[in-house]
Every structure is written in structure tokens, then in C-alpha cells.
Structure 1
């Protein structure tokens, strides 16, 4: 999926919502534990309930890896289900990989060759040769960690280069543009750092940004949109817990649908205000 196709889906659904499939076996409704694959049963109902309002899904690999081989089978089933039933929805592997070139090549093969994700999150701090192997798959995307939403982001990401005056996350944004284009690179920018989006847009005006931290983490959708929208939207705003755990009872899918619809309606207004619809 290229940038224009992604923007077409945003316009069609009047939404730039990404739903994080952070499926925790300890949090899903109890009645699903009686099924043969509780996590997949949960995912399937969440997907069917929210697909109308969603342009992307983002499984976080930790939730599946924590369940061993069965969890990885659940992940593969989930991706296959989305690809077969909702082929135009953008699929992100939230894996935060990044290693020496040969290892990165195998990670890229796993996510793009084997599991058919559209994008994978990648840590940039081992440099170009750890990122470029992910860019050898036409039509696939690297989503590079730039400025994350967690408290620990201040430990390293704001360290300032005394010669250039650039903070570390700004160096990542600038240097990485030598590795790919706005048709192959996106960036993670946390919603809890929404005030930095204007500065980030000056560095990467045309790239898509994956923005976690709206909802349970306290980020403001309005601030993100006002500071981060570009001429093709350029945003995928993720909500995980606020949607998928809107209820832990038998009505969990219905409540997830209601939560996703509410976010979509807010996004529709913001897109209209920006003259993108």
C-alpha cells in the first residue's frame, strides 16, 4: 500500500484511526477462555466490530510472544483474517526490531515475507545497516521510532548535540531521510509530546506519523491533529486499551465498536476542519 492508497482509505472512512490489538489473555472477557483460541476469538470480534471505522490495526508482538508458540500462531491467524476479510486495512507489526544487518534481514523476512504485514516498527539506534534490510520489500514500510510517548523518552531522546543544537530525536528524523523516502518511511511520535509535532513537521513535512498515546495514556487527539496534519492527513493515531477494553463483559465487541465510532466521528470533524474531506 502506497501513501496515496492509504490517504484514499482515510478519506473513504473519514478516519485516521489505528486500533492496537494489544490482546492480554488476563484482560479478555472470561467467557472467551472456553474457546479453543481465546485471544483469536477476542481479536476476531474486535476486528469485525471496528473495521468500519479503522484504517490500520497494530498488534503489539509482546502480547503474542508472551504466550509462546500458541501466541505466535494466534498472531498469524489474526493477520491472515484481516488480510482475507479486510484487505485494504493497513497492518502494522509493532515489534520495535533493530539489529545488525543480517539479523534485520531475517526480521524483515519474518514480518514481510512470512506474515505479510504492511509495516513494522524499527528502532533506529544501530544505524543505517540495521534499518535498510526492511526497505528491500517493495510496497512495505519502516516505521522508525523518533519521539516516543513514554516517560523514559526524556532519558535519551532529548539529549542535545552541542555542535548542531539538534536533539537526538531530531537527528534521527534528519539522518534517516537519507535511507528512504516518504513512500517507505514513517515515524513514531507520541501523542503525549503533541507540542513537538509542529517542530517535527518542519523536518518531515510529507511523511506519515504513527501516533500512540491517545486515550488511556492521556494524549489529546485535537492537539495531535492541529499540530500534525499535513496535506494528505499524514497521521495514523493509535488507540488500544481505550477501544479494545471498553468492556470486559459479553458486550465487549459492541462497546469497542461504540468507542471506535466515537473516535472516528471526532477525526471526521478534524479532517473537515483541515479541508481534507
Structure 2
């Protein structure tokens, strides 16, 4: 099961950090490195200090690098098998199309978990959650500035949309106990509300670092009593910490360690 694999990695590496793998052509050109060697070096440098890796599929697709996406997931699973891979795809569609997206994530790419969009309703989550050993990470309260335009709307039942998603994900959709939620670090008050609503359900937390999320406020709002329950994602702040071919891996490792230590200081 994905959640058990995740928590084992958190215990083994004493880390809640998830490194986002977002290859940007301009950044790689500035560094003077090729995609796959850069990815493997970043993974090797940070693997001992993370609980997960999270490749963002759009970055790979834009570079026509689906082959490299497959290769880096295989590389992680072969060389760092205790660290799970979350495919950040934010898929959301109905019926047979959702079945194909689930097959893409779990059979083509062999990811351990995938991010999905619940906007079309709970039946669109089931094609993913039926893979009982995989994780399904449902968007709930996202970190972007405009998220409140829809997610904070009050519905007829008196709850906001994000509260309704949290309740349904934890109570109605989680038949195989493999769902998680995405909750942005940029909204600690909403994070605290969601934690109260969903109990011990793990939460993927974007928004730390470049987007301005505060580590202490995030942990206070969302941490479980066992010191886990959060997957704190950082991409640019780690993978682009270095600016030279000779230092990018070491700088990424140090940035990852620094974030891990900052998080652990408040756990």
C-alpha cells in the first residue's frame, strides 16, 4: 500500500520532504546539462533526505520527454526502492477516459501515486482508487492565489467547496483507504480546518518556498500527533538551488537537508 510505503520512507529518512522533479528547458540550458543525467544526479543527491519524489508530467510532456519520465521513475524504483513516486498529473475525467488516465499513471509509468482533480465528482476518482496498492492524491485546497474563486465558495449545505471535497474524500470515496488530499501551505487556516475534517488522512502540501508558505504555520495546522501526516513538497527551491554543472547536485542536497531540518525542528 502506498500510504504504508510513504510512512516507512518518512520514518527511515526522518523526513517529510517531497522533491518535485520539474525539468525546465531554460534552466537546464543555463546549467549546461542534459535531462536524464541531471535528473538522476538530483535523485541520488536527495534520496536519503526525502519521503517521496514528485515528477510533474507537464514539464516532461512539454520537452517531449515521456521516455525520460519513464526512465527516471524506473531509476528511482531500482536504486531507491523505499522512496515512493507521486506522478503529478492532476487528471480529471469521466468513465473510460479516467480508466485510461489511471492506466497511464500506474501501468505505463508505474508511479506509486497520482494527483487527480475531483471537479467531475466521486465516480471519476474510482478508476484510480481501485488500484488498491496505489495512492490517489485529490486536489482539495490548492496553493495558488486564485484558488478561493471556486474552492472557498459556500455551498447550499453551508460548507465551502473545499470542505465538501475533504468530507467526501475521507468519508465517501475512500473505500480502499488509499486517498490523500492536496492542501496548500499558503492557506494554514484552511489546512487546520481540513485536518479536523479528515482525521489522520495524509496531506500533500505544495506552496513551501517559492510560493511563500510558512513551515511552522503549516506544521502547526496540519501535523498529526504522531509527527507525520504531511508530505511537504518543494521543487524549484531544491532542484535549482545550484547554478553550475559542478555544484547543482550538492546544492540540491544541501537545500533538501536544510528544509528537512527546518521541518523537523517544529515536529
Match of 2:241 in 1: 246
1:264 match: secondary structure? helix
Match of 1:67 in 2: 63
The alpha-carbon distance between structure 1 residues 165 and 72, as it changes in their structure 2 partners (threshold 3 A), is: same
CA contact (8 A) 2:132 2:176 kept: no
Match of 1:86 in 2: 80
Match of 2:264 in 1: 268
CA contact (8 A) 2:126 2:173 kept: yes
1:231-273 superposed Cα distances (whole Å, 9 cap, x missing partner): 34100000000000112212111111110011111222223xx
Match of 1:120 in 2: 114
Report how many residues are paired.
264
Distance 1:98 1:21 in 2: 21
Match of 2:26 in 1: 26
Give 1:195 shift.
2.0
Match of 1:178 in 2: 172
Match of 1:275 in 2: none
Which TM-score applies when normalising by structure 2? 0.95
Give 1:164 shift.
2.1
Distance 1:21 1:109 in 2: 21
Distance 1:206 1:199 in 2: 13
Give 1:31 shift.
5.5
CA contact (8 A) 1:29 1:249 kept: no
Match of 2:131 in 1: 137
Distance 1:47 1:183 in 2: 29
Structure 1 gaps of 5+ residues are 272-277
Distance 2:11 2:77 in 1: 20
Q: How does 1:1-277 map to 2 (within 5 A)?
A: 1-28=1-28, 30=30, 32-33=32-33, 38-68=34-64, 71-161=65-155, 163-176=156-169, 177-181=171-175, 183-232=177-226, 233-250=228-245, 251-271=247-267
